[in-house]
Amino acid sequence: MSKHIDLIRNVSLPGKAIGTVWDVWIVGLKIDAIVPHDDKSPSHTYSTLDGRGALLAPSLCHPRVRLDAMNFSSEQQALHKSTEPNAKDLLPQWAKDYGLSMTGYRKMHGLCSAGVTHMRALVEVKADDSATRILDAAVEMRNRFEQEGRCIVQICAMFRGPLISSTDGERGRASSERLIQNVASRAGVDAIGSVPALEANTNDREAHIETMVDLAIALDLHLDLELERNLSTNPSVWDVLEVLKTKEWSKRTTRKTVLLSGSNSVFDLSDPEKGRLRDEMADFPSTFVYTQSDELNKTRKVISLIRDQGIRVCFGVEASDDMGPTPESYDPVKSISTDDDASRELGEADAELLYEGVCRRPRQGIGHGKKMIQGLELKVGADANFVLFDHEQTTFTEVLSPHAGFWGRQVLLQGSLVAC
């Protein structure tokens, strides 16, 4: 059972003067009060967490965690494939019960330990018997994580193949459409996703986008689309926005969002095109996911897209089966951390904007939160979802430093400590 915290004392806060410390009171699931730190506050009569001056910030969100057959297996398969010594002992019983492999457990556990309290899990579905089994296992896993107070998880049924340009012609197309309709309608699925960029030509790509938008509207689901990575003569983002407009997405869904990834080509648009993109995106709850590089030039471009162009952008670790062998590899903050040269040139305001891209922006991008919240300042009445960083990290510049440690973070979801 998670331990509820009543008072987080002696912490640095976003939006407050650097060097000042504060006390944050929690009642139930919400922030009840934020007051200047008082050394004499009655900590002994409450469940208290002492921050020792560390930064208390909004918790993290990962918008695209990839889970596939490698992450879900029967216990026997998982143990057979595992390279871990004593894997049978390392994998918790509940993980075995829900078909979670050692690889999948390590990934989910690492994300929670890093401070991720909200995520979207992309569950890859294929045209075989494993599709529904893996999807059902993912839903059961999600339920377990939420019951234990570890994380809020969305399940996205992700189809990674051409829907229209099938090598089997109309028969293959019909088979693919039946598969995605079948998995999308299963209980526990929150979103559907696909890769329009895999289609053979522009016409098929447009038909693919229209098919996915129609299905998402019909089932009232969030939508996740992977677009081309490089700028083409006709970027598919314009097709997506046109279809959303034609199909009246905002009127026909209940606050469902559209997440666009693989779209780093947006950097190469002209300023007038970026202005057009901002204006058209404003009509729909759509957000870009950018896979960050530690190059200062790219970092500056992202900051400009958000601050100067007003385009909704969040950050994500590259969607990959193997996100790395150590817990630090699962840390979304690493996707916005910069090298030493870039770190010295970025100010606190830049660091805050980048951090917002791994907490509130992706959370809103996947549909968590009833309204768009700008900035990082903690407010009375807001959900008590936090990361308390190590006591040596009191500013966002320090948090984003390439030398900042992963260990020492404490995570709260709805006012309770997450057991990592």
Question: Could you tell me the residue range of the domain that residue 244 belongs to?
Answer: 59-366
C-alpha distances in angstroms, 386 versus 41, 148, 288, 359?
21, 17, 24, 10
Does 216 share its domain with 261?
yes
Does 175 share its domain with 78?
yes
Rounded CA-CA distance 312/74 in Å is: 40
Rounded CA-CA distance 160/123 in Å is: 10
Does 255 share its domain with 127?
yes
pLDDT at position 100: 65
pLDDT at position 260: 93
Please check whether residue 244 is in contact with residue 284, taking contact to mean a CB–CB distance below 8 angstroms: yes
Residue 336: inside a domain = yes
pLDDT at position 77: 46
Eight-class DSSP state of 72? B
Residue 349: inside a domain = yes
Does 271 share its domain with 261?
yes
Does 48 share its domain with 63?
no
Does 398 share its domain with 253?
no
Does 321 share its domain with 390?
no
Rounded CA-CA distance 218/373 in Å is: 28
Rounded CA-CA distance 169/156 in Å is: 27
Residue 260: inside a domain = yes
pLDDT at position 224: 96
CATH number at residue 332: 3.20.20.140
The residues that bridge with 158 in the sheet, in sequence order, are 124, 193
Q: Closest Cα partner for 121 from 73, 156, 71? A: 156
Please check whether residue 286 is in contact with residue 242, taking contact to mean a CB–CB distance below 8 angstroms: no
Q: Closest Cα partner for 141 from 109, 169, 183? A: 109
Rounded CA-CA distance 217/350 in Å is: 37
Residue 371: inside a domain = no
Please check whether residue 234 is in contact with residue 202, taking contact to mean a CB–CB distance below 8 angstroms: yes
pLDDT values of the chain reduced to their tens digit, one per residue, 420 residues: 578 999 999 999 999 999 999 999 999 999 999 999 988 776 667 899 999 999 999 999 999 988 876 677 644 444 444 444 444 455 666 566 666 666 777 788 888 989 999 999 999 887 665 667 888 888 888 888 899 899 999 999 999 888 888 767 777 778 888 888 888 999 999 999 999 989 989 999 999 999 999 999 999 999 999 987 665 667 889 999 999 999 999 999 998 999 998 766 777 788 899 999 999 998 889 998 887 654 556 677 888 889 989 999 998 865 444 444 565 677 888 888 766 566 667 789 999 999 999 999 999 999 987 666 678 999 999 999 999 999 889 999 999 887 777 778 999 999 999 986
What's the total number of domains in the chain?
2
Look up tokens 């599709």; give the residue: 131
CATH number at residue 408: 2.30.40.10
Does 280 share its domain with 298?
yes
Residue 372: inside a domain = no
- Reduced to 3 states (helix: H, G, I; strand: E, B; else coil), residue 351 is helix
Residue 79: inside a domain = yes
Residues in the chain: 420
Residue 276: inside a domain = yes
| Angle of the 169-184 helix axis to the 130-147 helix axis, nearest 10 | 20
Please check whether residue 247 is in contact with residue 213, taking contact to mean a CB–CB distance below 8 angstroms: yes
Q: Which of 366, 389, 406 is the last residue of a domain?
A: 366
- Reduced to 3 states (helix: H, G, I; strand: E, B; else coil), residue 281 is helix
Please check whether residue 286 is in contact with residue 239, taking contact to mean a CB–CB distance below 8 angstroms: no
Does 14 share its domain with 76?
no
Q: What angle do CA 74, 79, 84 make, to 5 degrees?
A: 140
Q: Closest Cα partner for 224 from 19, 65, 6? A: 65
pLDDT at position 340: 59
Does 291 share its domain with 333?
yes
* Joined tokens for residue 273: 């095109």
Q: Closest Cα partner for 316 from 286, 291, 353, 299? A: 291
Instruction: Work out the number of other CB atoms within 10 angstroms of the CB of residue 89.
Output: 8
Residue 374: inside a domain = no
Instruction: Work out the number of other CB atoms within 10 angstroms of the CB of residue 242.
Output: 14
Judging by DSSP bridges, how do beta strands 30-36 and 222-226 pair with one another? unpaired
Does 49 share its domain with 70?
no
What are the b/e assignments for 99-121, b being 16+ CB within 10 Å?
bbbbbbbbbbbbbbbbbbbbbbb
Rounded CA-CA distance 198/162 in Å is: 5
Please check whether residue 352 is in contact with residue 359, taking contact to mean a CB–CB distance below 8 angstroms: no
Does 154 share its domain with 252?
yes
Dihedral, CA atoms, 329, 332, 335, 337, nearest 10 degrees? -100
Q: Closest Cα partner for 362 from 22, 59, 19? A: 59
Please check whether residue 146 is in contact with residue 152, taking contact to mean a CB–CB distance below 8 angstroms: yes
Q: What angle do CA 328, 333, 335 make, to 5 degrees?
A: 90
pLDDT at position 116: 95
